[in-house]
């Protein structure tokens, strides 16, 4: 009689890297993120830049939201941290002016759980190849769904949420649109299969952030944002200058 083989116990290492867009009036940029390694939870938020026309730094909202996510994760006594619950609690406590997109990801055994609102999100690479991207929520070109205070903004209940099985060897790349607007999945694949000397999840996150930064200032080669602009009947060449947040989770068999 054949015996069932137990699934391997998975280990997840999480690291992050942030490059704020150069702006002396906003040295912290408009992105925010957290990594809660003990509970294997991480998240990003991207303050919506349109608030600058009203004299409001949306980065303050993003940072307060992420701070409240950390509080919610810290106080979570359940056996599984549910990202949508974290996002809902954090949103209810955030009072700063502004709005932001957000993506929260948690790991539990052989599963990834996520909640995503707007155009931040995550990609999964398996065997070095792109295999999944979280759905993007927009109301139109360059108009992401976003959380804020008031009825005109989206609530966490509107966030996409999902539970996805993961496997040893998977690399999950979580980021704000500063990453995804400037780096194609194929470029990440090229790095993963090239056996680039990166020892940690943090060093890989840094490598991807630097690639996004380089591409953002490229005026000749169109990035993902320029491609989407063209499909929407707009004109944009090259990359897109923005704050860049990258979180990498590397999955191994323990």
For position 145, which CATH number holds? 3.60.40.10
**Is 1 domain-assigned?**
no
**Residue 162 pLDDT:** 97
**Is 5 domain-assigned?**
no
Residues 157 and 254: their CA atoms lie apart, in Å, by 35
**Residue 141 pLDDT:** 87
Cβ-based neighbour number of residue 210 at 10 Å: 14
pLDDT tens readout for residues 164-213: 999 999 999 999 999 999 999 999 999 998 867 678 999 999 999 999 99
Q: For residue 135, what is the DSSP state?
A: P
Domain count, the chain: 1
**Is 129 domain-assigned?**
yes
**Residue 151 pLDDT:** 86
Residues 172 and 137: their CA atoms lie apart, in Å, by 19
- Structural domain boundaries, residue 165: 10-253
**Is 79 domain-assigned?**
yes
**Residue 198 pLDDT:** 79
- Asked if residue 142 lies in contact with residue 186, where contact means CB atoms within 8 angstroms, the answer is no
**Residue 195 pLDDT:** 66
**Residue 5 pLDDT:** 56
**Is 137 domain-assigned?**
yes
**Is 108 domain-assigned?**
yes
Which residues in the chain come in under a pLDDT of 70?
A: 1-8, 195, 197
**Is 3 domain-assigned?**
no
Residues 61 and 31: their CA atoms lie apart, in Å, by 9
**Residue 250 pLDDT:** 97
**Is 2 domain-assigned?**
no
């Amino acid at each position: 009689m054949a015996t069932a083989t137990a699934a391997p116990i998975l280990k997840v290492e999480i690291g992050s890297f942030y490059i704020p867009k150069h702006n002396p009036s906003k040295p912290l940029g408009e992105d925010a993120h957290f990594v809660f390694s003990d509970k294997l939870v991480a998240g990003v938020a991207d303050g919506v830049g349109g608030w600058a026309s009203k004299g409001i730094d949306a980065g303050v909202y993003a940072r307060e939201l992420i701070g409240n996510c950390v509080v919610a994760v810290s106080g979570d006594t359940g056996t599984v941290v549910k990202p949508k619950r974290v996002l809902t609690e954090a949103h209810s406590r955030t009072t700063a002016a502004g709005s932001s997109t957000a993506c929260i990801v948690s790991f539990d055994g052989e599963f990834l759980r996520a909640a995503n609102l707007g155009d931040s999100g995550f990609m999964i690479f398996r065997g070095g190849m792109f295999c999944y991207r979280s759905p993007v929520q927009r109301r139109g070109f360059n108009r992401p769904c976003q959380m804020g205070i008031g009825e005109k903004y989206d609530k966490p209940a509107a966030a996409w949420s999902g539970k996805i099985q993961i496997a040893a060897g998977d690399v999950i790349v979580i980021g704000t649109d500063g990453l995804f607007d400037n780096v194609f999945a194929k470029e990440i694949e090229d790095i993963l299969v090239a056996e680039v000397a990166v020892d940690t999840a943090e060093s890989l996150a840094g490598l991807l952030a630097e690639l996004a930064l380089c591409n953002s200032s490229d005026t000749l080669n169109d990035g993902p944002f320029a491609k989407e602009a063209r499909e929407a009947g707009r004109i944009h060449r090259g990359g897109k200058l923005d704050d860049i947040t990258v979180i990498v989770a590397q999955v191994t068999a323990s």
